[in-house]
Amino acid sequence: MFENSNIVVTGGTGSFGQTFVPKTLEKYNPKKIIIFSRDEMKQWEMAKLYGGDPRVRFFIGDVRDRERLYRAFRGVDYVVHAAATKIVPTAEYNPFECVKTNINGAMNVIDAAIDCGVKRVVALSTDKASSPINLYGATKLASDKLFVASNSYGGEHGTRFAVVRYGNVMGSRGSVIPFFISIKDKGEFPITDARMTRFMISLDEGVKLVWQAFEDMEGGEIYVKKIPSMKITDIAKSISQNAVQKIVGIRPGEKLHEQMIGEEDAPHTYEYPEHFKILPAINNWSSSADRIKDGIKVPDGFTYSSDNNPEWMQREELVAWIACNESKIGTI
């Protein structure tokens, strides 16, 4: 699908972009992938990895800057919107900045994509957008709603928008696995709550979900990949069986369990072998056969959260994953 096409990845120097770019170059050989981000040093470091590959371009810019997005999207076929203010405490203490990036930035991406004739846009979301309790989650819920509804503005044959939603990315910067690895020699792990559970997804799986969304979307869908869960205590034991686990309490804005599909979404949610699809409640899109395809309607009251998940990752599996990915953990 991406062959001989032009792609923009907003926030492309982040964890997702660092995996999406090489994998997409290898699998699809697009004409050009443009990394759009505001950190010149990250772009400088990332550019070194591609040795002047003419298919990889770098574009300094911020999604808050509408005019810059218009310049970046000229002649572009596909956009992956990965730029966001993501750290929960940062958003709580800097709410205006979080809104400017996650909500105003989403609106700018939508306007630029429609006006520049982009074919399809996939926006990355988060489990925190489902029944949000913190500002980050609330802004991403607003962003999801914007991208879903914007299919009304794209026209019958215009720009199409969809969303992918997934939880904790294994080994990404600032996440729990590299944090525990960095302090394991101290012999003590801070555990917020012994009951806490988290979804576990690799960046490779996240990239494949985005590819699938681009290929499958009619517009307005929210894709949720089926992934395993794990207890935070088992994550800690996978990294060090001997470290003492000290209960420190849940932090402000933190959930005991991650949720990706809430009960309110159940009436519009369909199940597939490897994912779920939340269809839009507006414009009768949730009854669209083109969007439903071969999906099976989930039962009333259905939720998909890390504690009621039928699939669980065993400690041995995480230990093996860490051994295979040791050099990348915490670097992207």
Rounded Cα distance between 330 and 327, Å, is 9
Known catalytic membership, residue 128: yes
- Which own/partner contact pairs does 315-324 have at CB distance under 8 Å and 24+ positions apart? 315/234, 315/237, 315/238, 318/200, 318/230, 318/234, 318/235, 318/238, 319/238, 321/170, 321/202, 322/171, 322/177, 322/181, 322/238, 322/239
Burial class of residue 297, CB neighbours in 10 A (0-12, 13-18, 19+): middle
Centroid of chain to Cα 222: 11
Closest Cα partner for 80 from 4, 169, 19, 152? 19
CB 184 within 8 A of CB 239: yes
Taking only Cα atoms into account, the Rg of the chain, rounded to an integer number of angstroms, comes to 20
Element of type H or E holding 136? helix 135-149
Which of 100, 119, 128, 293 is labelled catalytic? 128
Residue 35's Cβ-side half-sphere holds a number of Cα atoms within 13 Å equal to 30
Helix (H) or strand (E) holding 69: helix 66-73
Q: From CA 321, how far away is CA 295, in angstroms rounded?
A: 31
User: Is residue 224 within 8 Å of 274, Cβ to Cβ?
Assistant: no
Q: How far is the C-alpha of 29 from the C-alpha of 53, rounded, in Å?
A: 12
What does residue 111 show for φ and ψ, rounded to 5 degrees? -60, -45
Please give the Cα distance from 25 to 227 (Å, whole number).
25
Residues that are catalytic:
128
